[in-house]
Structure 1
Amino acid sequence: MHLEVVAPSPALADYVEYYGVWEEDAEDDVPLGAPVLPGVVNGLNVLVGRSVEVAAAGEGSRVQVAALAGMVGMVTWQQLYQRQASQAGVLGIYFRPAGFFHLFGAPMAEATDPTLAVGRLAGQFAHELIERISQAETNGQRLAAADELLLRQLHCQQPMPNAIDLVADRILHQHGQVNIEALAHDAGLSRRQLERRFLTEVGAPPKLYARIVRFNHVLQLLAASPAPSWQDIAYRCGYYDQAHFIREFRFFTGKSPSNYSLVDSDFAHFFWAR
């Protein structure tokens, strides 16, 4: 698998975190897979080549992305598993916490956990993006097309960062170790107002968002340590005790820390290594 991360134009920095391009160049037809653990990144993925399917762990259902583009929203409660055919590629646009909402006005709760046809959320933009990317011959041309279309969308919408962006940034900066009441107070909102707006603009309630950010910090520390101390990681990530840490770990992975093996792949980093 070949992966590349590219920064957007500076004007888009408040709304788009990065572009990601990954390609499978194997010559056989064996489907290649990668797990997607819970993470807070919202991604708009456009297929280049052959099919991709997304399965939810613990469920029998499988979503076949057949419309060339899909919105992979925040993954909150279970592991997803993405399988794509060899010689397939994906161009992904990965947004800041409320970036997609600012650019398209779509309620982000609709994109949380499932994979959706992006036309439901981005309308004409999605159709034009698919057309431009399918016509492009190189990844450079595809990235340039995505950047151009997003800059045009930015000019049309003229969004302004707001209190929800500040709250999300604090949660990220503090690795999820926050007090929601204090965040609401500092944002000039009641807790209920914060929860309602955060769900609409980001895709999950702020408490759940903070839990996922903290869990992602666990994964980052785990990836950085060849022989991790679970007790040390639990302490550094602010869990009350070992029992609390184990409950959260089971909730997000379905396994206890001692039975878990991190899939430390570049693909996985797209979703939790902010």
Structure 2
Amino acid sequence: MSMAGFHDRGAGPVDVRVVPHPAVTLVLEFGDGPLVVDAATGRQQRGSLVAGFTHDAVRVRGENVECVQVRLSPLAAFAVLGVSSAELDHVVVTLDDLWGSAAARVRQRVGEVRSWQDRFALADDILTRRIAEGPSADPEVAFAWSRILGSNGGVRVEELASESGWSRKRLWSRFREQIGLSPKRAARLVRFDHAVHRLAVGADAAMTAVESGYVDQSHLNRDVLAFSGITPATMAGETWLAVDHIAWKDRGKNELS
């Protein structure tokens, strides 16, 4: 898991589009103003939140917002959240729905801590304890997920079963159960994430397509549209991507205004 701290310093309302990411997102909110998430379905959630993988067409907004945002590996998400990642695909839920009264206690504890580093340490302790007490993923599933991440989604998913030592049917079933996506969709999401971060730093779209393993630029365009609902040109300027190199560097724990 990796963490970042966000606060708006009274600079005015926050309103940003969420870009799908190959992790389950946990937001521990403790500011004066509630964090609000608007989904494409019209459903609205407030406060501390959990967002599944492909949370496309979702906007995050609020004012006087302060929060610790955690990107959870799907290998750890079930132990931390108490719910399968498969149940979180395309879903945004409140932490209260998953943790009950424990969510309010966590919000209070995080809000009482004065420095960001202490907040990170507290959140790390809370989540690490839950990971230690929860179930772990099968080694074969963890191996397949690692291969997909390590190849930026470029691994041939047909080869994963033979490399893991399991049958294709068993690996696909257990992977979907524990990761929350099929291996093919997981590889697409990881490849998409790699490509859009290249676009965000100004890389040429055609070259990005080639370097990210797409057949051509049209293939990249279709995947970006499928995951985000916008074009690669629009995606390149998204605030959500622009802050990543600041928010998630230095061992994954940073404060961002």
TM-score scaled to structure 2, two decimals? 0.83
In structure 2, distance between residues paired with 1:237 and 1:55:
31
Go from structure 1 to structure 2 and tell me whether the alpha carbon gap of 1:149 and 1:258 turns closer, same or farther (over 3 Å shift): closer
Aligned to 2:3: 19
Which of 232, 235, 245 is 2:207 aligned to?
A: 232
1:37 has 2:19 as partner:
yes
Q: Given the alignment, which residue of 199, 212, 222 partners 1:247?
A: 222
SS at match of 1:243: helix
- Other-structure match for 2:146: 169
Aligned-pair Cα RMSD in Å: 2.7
SS in 2 for 1:251: helix
Cα 1:255/1:167, change in 2 over 3 Å: same
Contact persistence 2:23–2:72 (CA under 8 A): yes
In the aligned structure 2, how far is the partner of 1:166 from the partner of 1:62? 36
On the 8 A contact 1:125/1:149 being kept in 2, the answer is no
Cα offset, 1:259, TM superposition: 5.7
2:225 partner letter: R
**1:202-250: CA deviations, max 9, x gaps?**
221111111111111111211233xx33221111111123332222122
Q: Is the 8 A contact 2:35 2:48 kept in 1?
A: no
> Which runs of 5 or more residues in structure 2 are unaligned?
253-257
Secondary structure, in 3 states, of the residue corresponding to 2:194? helix
Q: Is the 8 A contact 2:175 2:182 kept in 1?
A: yes
Moved more, 189-198 or 206-215: 189-198
- The yes-or-no answer on 1:71 pairing with 2:50 is yes
Instruction: Give, as a single letter, the amino acid of the residue that structure 2 aligns with 1:63.
Output: Q
Which residue identity is paired with 1:40? P
Give the C-alpha shift of residue 253 in structure 1: 2.9
Measure, in 2, the Cα distance between the counterparts of 1:260 and 1:140: 31
User: Which residue of the partner structure matches residue 255 of structure 2?
Assistant: none
Q: 2:68 aligns with which of 91, 106, 114?
A: 91
Report the CA distance shift for 1:175/1:261 in structure 2 as closer, same or farther (over 3 A).
Answer: closer
Which stretch of structure 1 is more off in the superposition, 126-135 or 210-219? 126-135
Higher relative contact order (CA 8 A, sep 6+): 2
Q: Residue 111 of structure 2 aligns with which residue?
A: 134
1:53 aligns with 2:53: no
> What is the CA–CA distance in structure 2 between the aligned matches of 1:213 and 1:190, rounded to whole Å?
23
Query: Which residue of the other structure, out of 45, 53, 58, is the alignment partner of 1:80?
Result: 58
Deviation at 1:83, TM superposition (A): 0.7
Structure 1, gaps ≥5 residues long:
1-16
SS at match of 1:51: coil
Task: Measure how far apart 1:173 and its partner are.
Answer: 0.9
Aligned-residue sequence identity (percent) comes to 25
Q: 1:239 to 1:269 in 2, by over 3 A?
A: farther
Judging changes above 3 Å, is the alpha-carbon distance between structure 1 residues 197 and 123 closer, same or farther for their aligned structure 2 residues? farther
- Corresponding residue SS for 1:45: strand
Aligned-partner Cα distance in 1 for 2:80–2:140: 16
Q: Are the counterparts in 1 of residues 200 and 237 from structure 2 also a CA contact under 8 Å?
A: yes
- Cα shift at 1:160: 6.6
Aligned residue type for 1:222 = L
Could you say what secondary structure the match of 1:210 adopts?
helix
CA distance in 2, matches of 1:70, 1:185: 38
Q: How many residues align?
A: 246
